Structure 1
Amino acid sequence: MTKATEHQQFDLSGEEPLANFSGNRPFHDVAEQRYSRRNFLKGSVAAAVGTFLAGPLAGCSSTVSQPAAAAAVHPQAAGLLGFTPVPVSRADTVAVPEGYRTQVFLPWGTPLLPGAPAFLRNATNSAADQEKQVGSHHDGMHFFPIDLKQGGQSSSEGLLVMNHEYVDPNMLHQFGGNQAPRDVEQVHKEIAAHGVSVAHIRQRPNRQWELVQESHYNRRITGNTLMELTGPVRGHAKVITPFSPDGTRTRGTLNNCAHGVTPWGTYLTCEENWAGLFVSHDREQPREHERYSVARGMSWNQWDTAAAKDPQLARFNASKLGASARDDYRNEPNTFGWIVEIDPFNPNSTPVKHTAMGRFAHEGIIFAKAEAGKPLVAYSGDDARNEYIYKFVSAKPYDPVSAGPHLLDEGSLYVARFNDDGSGDWLPLDFHNPVFQAKALAAGHVFDSQADVLLNTRLAADIMGATPMDRPEWGAVHPTSGEVYFTLTNNSQRPPEMVNAANPRAWNQNGHIIRWRESNGLRFNWDIFVFSGDVFTSTPEHGLMLTNDNHHASPDGLWFDPNGLLWIQTDMSGSQLSRGPFGNNAMLAANVQSHTIKRFLVGPVGCEVTGVVMTPDCKTMFVNIQHPGEGSGPYSFSSTWPDRGITRPRSATVVITKEDGGIIGT
């Protein structure tokens, strides 16, 4: 057994095992050269400011004026962080600052489609019911104004589109699940609980929000929904299956984590830990399985074990069982790990998987500001330990009149290398590039086309010498300066000998946020915005020391609102969550110019706080609470949020408004 295949089982939280054994120079080694060890302070170090000066804030309509100089703190900055920070808590509730109110909205199991039954608190709804109900484990989401296609910016009605990342069988089923061989009905319910929900919503006169019943916009996209493959990989031999002998289609989208929004008003959902849902019993795994941690022996949910009673479920067994790829599902995992585009305004549209944007454990996708006549630029992180950050640049320029999905099907994919001096390089993953060809040959790898490169994006990045990072998660682009921020949530497999100035903690649990500014398209300048950690954790070069008002760990979700406030969400787990100093997972707001950070929200027991968006007027915020009570059940639960009483917890969206009707964050 090779070193790589010794780590093929996902852990209990679904986190991907270490799969990068390339030997590329790790980010902690790069950062050690840049930052001096003498800057340690309670387990953290300073990050150099570099040349970063945040630009003016964009602002909601008629609410924020422009600053006199880009380097100055915005005149409304104090007002935009005018709330009193929420203290750390382990209460089983959602806490927000004084002057704000919350509404629980669209919890798992909410009837969404015509004929959908009510959610049954003993979790006895069927798989057919779940196909018509809001999915499980809410994650990334976006609010599309109902009049967006007409150039409007409604803040009282729209389409709320959200991801459903994964399922917990002990919550989803009355008596739990996951014992092999799996029950067919349970497996289909789990597949139906994945994917995406499109919900037509509106605000009532009393400022409460409601689902528009029987709206033709309401839709569920699940692990069974028909999908098109587009871009270079379409039709490649490695995506041929019995379901799609010509390699042009697949079924479903799974493990949808963060998201993106296109300039033409469609939703992008990102497939993250999909590899753990497949299993291969082959003695030798192909590289497009091994480098992505397709399981050996036992998959995460063991869906393949129900195939004897339902042949449709054979697709989760990626073993070579037949004479060719048309006879078994050896290539089924290759149809996952992509960016998926959904048009929320066209409920009859077929979702599209854009293969030109690379195949890996996509956390999310964020766009730089679209400019007419220039290519589109988008960034995505590969959320696994020691994986990479990528950039996609469209081959054709952006035209606001003709822009559409075609822009995502042809372009160049790059991977980031972070240099000692604070500069960075975007390294091309291009089959036709002589440098790539030479490096691949030297490494002993052969590719037959750009499609082959994209199917093996991680391997191509290894070959080019990309910098391994500490689990790149969500990204965010400042609305005016264009600076790009990324959360590096943690790295629990950093041994003591790898401790250094930029990552000063062995078995690093706390993480940090990195940022960069583009230089000339192929280069960038970077620094570290903040090191996460306990009280007194310091980033001295930015004048920031964490306090009781803002200490946090494992930053994950990240989003800039139109006013330029950076919203940071945490995803702690295990002992860090249950016994650490940080309480339950939380959401903080940061003024990136002044490096002021305040805790805005604390979630209920066992949850992850994830997914955040506002209406265009910035007066309504939507935040997702995922898996409250995680790890408990099926007979008793550590959380009863949000229904209370004798019931199981449910992921749900929280609607936040100010009691005075004002701007969120003031």
Structure 2
Amino acid sequence: MAKHDLDPNYLDPNYEPVVNHSSNTPFHQVLSARMQRRTVMKGSVGAALASVMGLGLAGCGSDDDDDNGTSTGGSSANTELGFKAVAVSTDNEVVVPGGYSSVAFLPWGTPITGSYPEYKADGTNTGADQEQQMGMHHDGVHFFPIDQKAGGNSSTEGLLVMNHEYINQSALHANGPTNAGDNGGVRPADEVRKEIAAHGVSVVHIKRDTNGTWDIVFGSPFNRRITGNTEMDIRGPVRGYSKLVTTYSPDATETRGTLNNCAMGPTPWGTYLAAEENWHGYFANSDATQPREQTRHGVGSSSRYDWELADSAADQYVRFNVSTTGAAATDDYRNEANTYGFMVEIDPFTPESKPQKRTALGRFGHEGVIFAPAKEGEPVVCYSGDDSRFEYIYKFVSSQPYYAATAGGYLLDEGTLYVARFNEDGSGDWLALDLDDADFASKVAAAEGGMVGDIQFDGFENQADVLLNTRLAADIAGATTMDRPEWGAVDPNSGEVYFTLTNNSNRGQPGFDDVNAANPNSPNATGHIIRWTEEGNDHTATSFDWDIFVFAGEQGTETVVDGEAVVSLNDDNIFNSPDGLWFDYNGRLWIQTDGSDADPYFNNMMLAANPETREIKRFFVGPQGCEVTGVVSTPDVKTMFVNIQHPDGNWPNAAESRPRDATVIVTKDDGGVIGA
């Protein structure tokens, strides 16, 4: 069958259609009034870069340098990069610095629970098998020490929890997927079951033996698979809202499954939040018109994998057809897509618990979530990016205070969701998306009855409607459109917040936003990393100061502050399309890429950065065709887990014909701290 004639990119699970047609001020315009623009040409392709302002961030050590370029705001000894940078690579293997070792671990199909069905290299495992095995396309990952609930920090045993973003259909099935168009308009139900099971989250109990080898603790009650069909609760302000009513959940309190889980976020109380990113492509709506809850996200007339066409016509598959087929919402799944696009909380230490979709954090293309350090008696604060071109960055502040003894997911059910506006003078504002906020309410009233982008805006019924339509609410609030905000990280030493802006192929192209100092590439093919400090170093504040940490690019690409190049990329640290981002427990910043594999970058990679000096070195290069995504270490920072997604060829096992996503364990040969 012909699929998505209007957009040939739709079948790419990483593709985010541009669905923001609002007239909000784009990020690239916000500096023009205060910056003295000074364009410099760097690199063999002549990428035009503009100087970045000399704005001192409040509490930002790297903007208060001594004569040696070292921060006077604190010691950088713990964040020094004590390894020799590795070169770019085109090899089909993992490359790490001299003195380090790496080994593949937990590849797709590894049995982890239930009857532990053996992985079959010929692709003949069943859907039931896949529900008990590691899923595909490993992504965000976190290590929970096995004694964390008791206040411990074991670095030899714990629960490794990771997302499985999407699938490689050709590798998943023995002979590739059965096309519905060639099979009487239907797909075999077990193929669909297997594909749904290859999505979701894995919880794996792992332990290191006396020889330093990590392995699964077989038979552990903690080992668990959460898939695209696992029962889940709806929590927060959208729970019970009429626009989530389905035949499965007439009271709009439950749904099934989590899909396209990219990054994640560990909570201060020891649970795991999985992000639902490009969920829109899993649903099909053949109605003549679609509600704004779908159009603002890009739901199409047919789905990416045709799950709704399973030949069994079982309810668990029919639900992916969100067309109007019944007399009322209780008779069909017209609202099923409205139960996706949230952060999903999973308690890895309570395997019988149901995952919770935390709706107060908003509904959009969540890349992940990061928490500011929790402080006793104060609100919980977390940040999330909407990974799509010209979308936004958000912050949630809980209504109730955090107390370590009683903290739990309930803290994420009540609070205020904000969206970021980056001002041209280097300041920024958090705009409340709350009908009780006078400024937002007045903007909603002014917009009602008119067009917001290409959506006829007829108002919001209530706060649940605002959160269900978070992107539309942010349009109305006047947030700043960004170049694919992806992973974020909070510096454990300074409290600064960092976000990757991966790229934007439409930047400066006809019909799209122009370029200038803050988004200087046309198109923005290589991306950059932004950071900010909240006013008074208080993460609950409603204003902040921001700057650019680094521009990605080829050799000679400069990031300029106060007329001086603070970063000049060279062979040791060129990179493009920054994506994954994580601060280790010593304060080093780890940057992962998901960009072009062309010259001069070649295979995707991971770099380490000193946030105070802005020194950056390449630490890790992945195999051919992969994205390097997801990184965490044990608390002692002596074992690092790095995920490899969608590798080409036959990595990690040359004896097998099918590529297998896997986690890579990195250790230092002398048993020391990674990166030191």
TM-score (norm 2): 0.92
User: How far apart in 2 are the matches of 1:222 and 1:482?
Assistant: 35
When residues 618 and 282 of structure 1 are mapped into structure 2, their CA distance, relative to the original with a 3 A threshold, is same
CA deviation vs aligned residue, 1:96-131 (integer Å, no higher than 9, x gap): 000000121100000101312111111111100000
Q: Shift of residue 283 of structure 1?
A: 1.1
Is the aligned partner of 1:449 residue 2:449? no
Provide the C-alpha distance between the structure 2 equivalents of 1:11 and 1:507, rounded to a whole number of angstroms.
23
**Aligned partners of 1:654 and 1:379: how far apart in 2?**
27
Give the match's secondary structure for 1:459.
helix
**In 2 relative to 1, CA 35–86 (structure 1 residues): closer, same or farther, beyond 3 Å?**
farther
Length, aligned pairs only? 636
The answer (yes or no) to whether the contact 1:178–1:301 under 8 Å persists in 2 is: no
Q: Which amino acid aligns with 1:532?
A: A
**Does the 8 A contact of 2:35 with 2:53 survive in 1?**
yes
The one of 653, 659, 666 aligned to 1:656: 666
Give runs of aligned pairs for residues 342-357 of structure 1, distance below 5 A: 342-357=346-361
Provide the residue aligned with 2:66 in structure 1.
none
Q: 1:7 to 1:453 in 2, by over 3 A?
A: farther
Q: Which amino acid aligns with 2:115?
A: G
Aligned to 1:71: 73
1:547 to 562, 570, 574: 570
Deviations 1:641-663 (A, max 9, x none): 10112421100000110000000
> 1:1-30: CA deviations, max 9, x gaps?
xxxx96697252431210000111100111
Number of the residue aligned with 1:61: none
Pick aligned residue for 2:208 from 187, 203, 208: 203
Identity %: 57
Name which of 183, 192, 196 aligns with 1:191.
196
* Counterpart residue identity of residue 469, structure 2: N
Q: Specify whether residues 534 and 291 from structure 1 end up closer, same or farther in structure 2 by C-alpha distance, changes over 3 A only.
A: same
Map of 1:482 onto structure 2: 495
* Offset at residue 73 of structure 1 (A): 4.7
The one-character-per-residue Cα deviations of 1:202-225 (angstroms, maximum 9, x if unpaired) are 111111111111111100000111
Give the corresponding residue for 1:634.
Answer: none
Distance 2:231 2:326 in 1: 24
TM-score (norm 1): 0.93
1:513-552 superposed matches below 5 A: 513-519=529-535, 521-541=541-561, 543-552=566-575
SS at match of 2:205: strand
Deviation at 1:34, TM superposition (A): 4.5
Distance in 2, matches of 1:83 and 1:53, equals 31
Counterpart CA distance in 1 for 2:416 and 2:230 is: 29
What is the aligned counterpart of 1:270 among 266, 275, 278?
275
Alignment of 1:524-603 (within 5 A): 524-541=544-561, 543-572=566-595, 576-577=596-597, 579-603=598-622
Tell me the residue number matched to 1:512. 528
CA–CA distance in structure 2, aligned partners of residues 611 and 379 of structure 1? 17
For 1:506 and 1:345, how far apart are their aligned partners in 2? Answer: 47
Determine if contact 2:592/2:629 at 8 Å carries over to the other structure: yes
Native 8 Å contact 2:260 2:278 kept in 1:
yes
Cα distance in structure 1, aligned partners of 2:124 and 2:50: 51
Shift of 1:178: 6.0
- Indicate if the aligned counterparts of 2:207 and 2:217 stay in contact, CA closer than 8 A: yes
Give the CA deviation at 1:308.
6.0
Question: In structure 2, which of residues 638, 650, 653 is the aligned counterpart of residue 643 of structure 1?
Answer: 653
Q: 5+ residue gaps in structure 2? A: 63-69, 181-185, 449-456
Please, which moves more after superposition, 547-556 or 183-192?
Answer: 183-192
CA distance in 2, matches of 1:56, 1:533: 25
In 2, Cα distance between the equivalents of 1:345 and 1:299? Answer: 35
CA deviation map 1:178-206 (0-9, x unaligned): 62232221111010000000000011111
Per-residue deviation at 1:310?
3.0
Q: Look up the match of 1:249.
A: 254
1:87/1:549 contact within 8 Å kept: yes
* 356 and 13 in structure 1: CA distance in 2 versus 1, 3 angstrom threshold: closer
After superposition, the C-alpha distances for 1:410-430 in whole angstroms (9 at most, x for unaligned) are 000000000000000000100
* Residue 465 of structure 1: aligned partner: 478
| 1:502 Cα offset (Å) | 2.1
Cα offset, 1:581, TM superposition: 1.1
Question: Displacement, 1:272?
Answer: 0.4
Question: Secondary structure of 2:331's partner?
Answer: coil
Q: 282, 302, 307: which is aligned to 2:287?
A: 282
What is the aligned counterpart of 1:314 among 311, 318, 326?
Answer: 318
Question: Which residue of the partner structure matches residue 632 of structure 1?
Answer: none
Please tell me whether the aligned partners of residues 197 and 229 of structure 2 are also in contact (alpha carbons under 8 angstroms): yes
Cα distance change on mapping 1:350 and 1:496 into 2, 3 Å? closer
Determine the C-alpha separation between the residues in 2 that align with 1:8 and 1:41. 34
User: Over residues 259-304 of structure 1, what are the superposed CA-to-partner deviations in whole Å (9 max), with x where a residue is unaligned?
Assistant: 00111101111100001100111111101011011112x2111212
Q: 1:519 to 1:644 in 2, by over 3 A?
A: same
- Structure 1 position 157, deviation (Å): 0.3
- How far residue 508 of structure 1 moved from its aligned partner, in angstroms, is 1.6
1:414 aligned to 2:414?
Answer: no
Helix, strand or coil for the counterpart of 1:485?
A: strand
Are residue 424 (structure 1) and residue 443 (structure 2) matched?
Answer: no
Residue 72 of structure 1, CA deviation: 4.6
2:424 aligned partner, one-letter code: D
Partner of residue 12, structure 2: 12
**1:401 matches 2:386:** no
SS in 2 for 1:102: strand
SS in 2 for 1:610: strand
2:454 aligns with: none
Deviations 1:467-488 (A, max 9, x none): 0100000000000211000000
Residues 526, 178 of structure 1: CA spacing in aligned structure 2 closer, same or farther, 3 A cutoff? farther
Match of 1:502 among 512, 518, 521: 518
Cα distance between partner residues in 1 of 2:155 and 2:315: 46
C-alpha deviation, 1:177, in angstroms: 1.6
For residues 509 and 233 of structure 2, the distance between their equivalents in structure 1, rounded to whole angstroms, comes to 46
SS of the counterpart of 1:391?
strand
Aligned twin of 1:52 = 57
> How far has the Cα of 1:615 moved from its partner?
0.4
For 1:302, which of 303, 306, 328 is the aligned residue?
A: 306
Change (3 A) 1:216 1:76: closer
**Offset at residue 70 of structure 1 (A):** 5.1
- Contact 1:384-1:471 within 8 A present in 2 as well: yes
**Is residue 119–residue 125 contact of structure 1 (8 Å, CA) maintained in 2?**
yes
Aligned equivalent of 2:134: 134
Deviations 1:134-163 (A, max 9, x none): 111000010000011111110000000000
> Counterpart amino acid of 1:251?
R
Question: Cα–Cα, structure 1 residues 110 and 526, in superposed 2: closer, same or farther, change >3 Å?
Answer: same
Do the aligned residues in 1 keep the contact of 2:9 with 2:15 (CA within 8 Å)? Answer: no
Distance 1:6 1:456, change over 3 A: farther
When residues 163 and 203 of structure 1 are mapped into structure 2, their CA distance, relative to the original with a 3 A threshold, is same
Q: Give the Cα separation in 2 of the matches to 1:81 and 1:120.
A: 42
The AA in structure 2 aligned to 1:597 is I
Distance 1:229 1:343 in 2: 15
CA distance in 1, matches of 2:462, 2:178: 40
CA–CA distance in structure 2, aligned partners of residues 131 and 70 of structure 1: 53
Alignment partner of 1:359 out of 352, 360, 363: 363
Q: CA deviation at 1:516?
A: 0.4
Residue 491 of structure 1: aligned partner: 504
* Cα separation, partners in 2 of 1:228 and 1:253, compared to 1, 3 Å: same
Aligned-partner residue type, residue 621 of structure 1: M
Tell me how far apart the structure 1 counterparts of residues 148 and 102 of structure 2 sit (CA, whole Å): 26
| Whole-Å separation in 2 of the counterparts to 1:386 and 1:236 | 28
Contact between 1:26 and 1:386, CA under 8 Å: does it hold in 2?
Answer: yes
Q: Which runs of 5+ in 1 are unaligned?
A: 58-67, 630-638
Q: Distance in 1 between matches of 2:403 and 2:315?
A: 46
CA contact (8 A) 2:13 2:166 kept: no
- Structure 2 Cα separation of the partners of residues 290 and 10 of structure 1: 14
